[in-house]
Homo-oligomer: A and B are copies of this chain.
Amino acid sequence: MIKFDYLHLVLYSSSMTKKSKPSNRDIVIRIATGLFLEKGYPMTSMDEIVAASKVSKTNIYYHFKSKEELLSAIVTQMIDRYEQVIAEIAGQSQLAVAERLRRFASLLADQGPDSLGGCPFLTLYVQTNRESRFVREEISHFFHNQIATIERLLHEGIARGEFSSELPVSQIAVMIVSMIEGGLFLQHTQQDETLLPRVLHALAFLLK
């Protein structure tokens, strides 16, 4: 298992250096991320973010012109950080591909705030509508890249003799990302943290 502490550090730490105080912008992003994921994006007002962050309304609006712009900044930052960790996991060629896939899934499972839909990206996508085009497109692109990364890993696994060369790679790649996203969602509905691990166990059984 990837240590949560490490992930938390990479995913939720701000860009500040260790000694300096977090900037107001960092504080607002951290507080708003929690509210958007745990309470819901449309159900959170800028006034609540002001109250919870203790940053003045004027200062918040100096950094973000609207709630939508704040959401965009959050999604862009979340994606940057996840993509960095995903690239790191995918590149660890000293590890078996199966192990890298497991870590990839754990990464998406080990999340900070308790998102309403299990996965933070799924939650923010479903909580926005066609009016939040930029956010939905960014999340769409993030999943597109995830599928491509899994495809590359599966090809590597076949080349290394870990998987059968008959594997329909592109189909298995979308299946893996689907089962992780669906598993995170179902796990949330069932309030059962063993659900995603069971899904991954079934996958490992079938890939043998």
Contact = CB atoms under 8 A, between A and B. Distances in A.
A168 B127 contact: no
B186 A143 contact: yes
A175 B185 contact: no
Interface residues of A, number: 49
Interface stretch (A4-12, A39-47, A67-75, A80-88): A39-47
B127 A40 contact: yes
28 contacts: A38-B129, A40-B128, A42-B42, A42-B127, A43-B129, A116-B126, A123-B126, A125-B185, A126-B127, A126-B185, A127-B127, A136-B189, A143-B190, A144-B190, A168-B201, A171-B198, A172-B205, A174-B186, A175-B179, A175-B199, A175-B202, A178-B183, A178-B196, A179-B179, A179-B182, A181-B182, A181-B186, A206-B207
